[in-house]
Amino acid sequence: MSTIQLRTPIPGPKSRALSDRRAKAVPRGLSHGTPIYVAKAKDAWLEDVDGNRYLDFAGGIGCLNVGHRRDEVLDAVKDQLDHFLHTCVQVTPYESYVRLAERMNEITPGNFAKKTIFINSGAEAVENAVKIARAYTKRPGIIAFEDAFHGRTMMTLALTSKTHPYKAGFAPFPSEVYRVPFAYCYRCSYSLKYPACDLYCARHLEDTFKRVVANEEVAAVIAEPVLGEGGFVAPPPDYFKVLVELCHKHGILFIADEVQSGFGRTGAMFASERYGIAPDILVTAKSISGGLPLAAVTGKAEIMDAPGVGGLGGTFAGNPLSCAAALAVLDLFERENLLARANELGDHFQRRAREWQSRWPIIGDIRGLGGMQAIELVQSQEAKTPAADETKKITQYCYEHGLITITAGSYGNVIRVLVPLVITSEQMDEALDVLEAGIANVCGQKKEVPQLV
């Protein structure tokens, strides 16, 4: 039996009524990928207030790698509810925070002593990583990449690349942020081809130190091992080794922002492992706690201890419910082979997407690592003109037919897969059938527009 069950036209009457109330009560700046209001969710599906059931390729933007409302996570949270809700770890600490830090120090890449601090969100974690890197190196500069996304607070907006809708209108941003091209091979900033390029984009950092910012002024280079919001761009396998070596040569720290790529998404616990690197500082959030707000900064012990006593923290930082949930998530990763499943799902997606690409030239690029997969849509394979309108039409087709998807990319022309890794094979095919129909539909319409055929 299919999981997708649509009982009303989408969005249904109750969702539409809520959208009207929302328009009056909530600022427009908070956008919604779909106009569907959720009533409940489990594993890889969610149900709206009108009783329509969808498959979920968004997973709360990558927060639900272990699935919606896993029993183990719920049990851990319920148990914590019976004890205490909040004390503030800076006033009266609790064991679960320490235990979670110990486990994070064990499972993150790098055979060295580590320490971990917990905070509330990915952006807050990036902010803390920058504070720690500056405190340790006593240098101000941070180098970030084109197409990077690191959050919506002022410092993380400075690090984030995409102008609209994230940055435009919110300047001035904090200074001492420098931006360089990323290893986005499909749209190489230097018009080179891997491997003949010999990773020019990584090696070019030496040039940046001469022409943009002096290396002795740079505290850290921050990168997402696989771009999230920037379009699921996975650099070539040897890229990060070269980059990290270059950083270390100049006493610069390497910060991996694994907020989206972490916790099994790429088929390893952390994408850094797939690149054979051990970041000096690793930033995580999203899927760390199975749907509750939590983020972590894990790093070499001596780096993490650079800020003075009281220099780090926050009222709700590492709250007990989120810590309990995160411990349950780590148990789930130990018990279930979610990493292998991420790879299987990724391989399956790639197979189907390649078949679509052979039929429809709108699919310019298929890429990703493990279960972090995407297609980039273009109006012409040669010119690679981004097909943003078509991408929107496909995602709209998808949610109207029972599949929640989200877009990505600086040009808004990427459809990304962040499906909970517990989706069954039947559900995955059901979802991909909808996506395929959405692409076919848009391609059918395009036949009427000669220049796009």
Ligand X SMILES: Cc1ncc(COP(=O)(O)O)c(C=O)c1O
Nearest distance in Å: CB 59, ligand X: 12
Phi, psi of 200 (to 5 degrees): -55, -40
Q: Strand, coil or helix: what is 417?
A: strand
Nearest distance in Å: CB 111, ligand X: 25
Q: Name the residue nearer to ligand X (CB basis): 105 or 120.
A: 120
Q: Strand, coil or helix: what is 266?
A: coil
* Cβ–Cβ under 8 Å, residues 406 and 418: yes
Nearest distance in Å: CB 364, ligand X: 22
Nearest distance in Å: CB 214, ligand X: 27
Nearest distance in Å: CB 357, ligand X: 26
Nearest distance in Å: CB 311, ligand X: 21
* Cβ–Cβ under 8 Å, residues 243 and 272: no
Q: Name the residue nearer to ligand X (CB basis): 27 or 450.
A: 27
Nearest distance in Å: CB 372, ligand X: 11
Nearest distance in Å: CB 105, ligand X: 21
CA distance 196 to 198: 5
Element (H, E) at 16: helix 13-25
Residue reference for tokens 């959208």: 19
Q: Name the residue nearer to ligand X (CB basis): 292 or 362.
A: 292
Nearest distance in Å: CB 51, ligand X: 30
CA distance 131 to 137: 10
Query: Exposure string (b/e) for 251-273, b if CB count within 10 Å is 16 or more?
Result: ebbbbbbbbbbbbbbbbbbbbbb
Q: Name the residue nearer to ligand X (CB basis): 325 or 362.
A: 325
Residue reference for tokens 């995409």: 162
Within a 10 A sphere around the Cβ of 389, how many other Cβ atoms?
13
Q: Name the residue nearer to ligand X (CB basis): 11 or 235.
A: 235
CA nearest neighbour of 349 among 369, 328, 332: 369
DSSP alpha helix (H) spans, 82-185: 95-107, 122-137, 154-159
Angle between helices 425-446 and 338-359 (to 10 degrees): 20
Q: Name the residue nearer to ligand X (CB basis): 56 or 224.
A: 224
Nearest distance in Å: CB 152, ligand X: 6
In DSSP terms, which residues pair with 374 in a beta bridge?
Answer: 367, 416
Within a 10 A sphere around the Cβ of 233, how many other Cβ atoms?
26
Q: Strand, coil or helix: what is 210?
A: helix
Backbone conformation region of residue 377, classed left if phi is above 0, alpha if psi is from -120 to 50, else beta: beta
Which positions lie near ligand X, rule CB under 6 A?
Answer: 61, 121-123, 126, 149-151, 224, 228-229, 257, 259-260, 285
CA distance 269 to 449: 45
Nearest distance in Å: CB 21, ligand X: 25
Q: Name the residue nearer to ligand X (CB basis): 136 or 149.
A: 149
Residue closest to ligand X, measured at CB: 122
* Cβ–Cβ under 8 Å, residues 12 and 5: no
CA nearest neighbour of 97 among 325, 355, 402, 351: 325
Q: Name the residue nearer to ligand X (CB basis): 296 or 442.
A: 296
CA distance 215 to 308: 25
CA nearest neighbour of 81 among 93, 91, 73, 69: 73
CA distance 49 to 312: 41
Q: Name the residue nearer to ligand X (CB basis): 228 or 320.
A: 228
- The two tokens of residue 423 are 């989706």
Q: Name the residue nearer to ligand X (CB basis): 122 or 368.
A: 122
Q: Name the residue nearer to ligand X (CB basis): 226 or 387.
A: 226
Q: Name the residue nearer to ligand X (CB basis): 161 or 391.
A: 161
Nearest distance in Å: CB 122, ligand X: 2
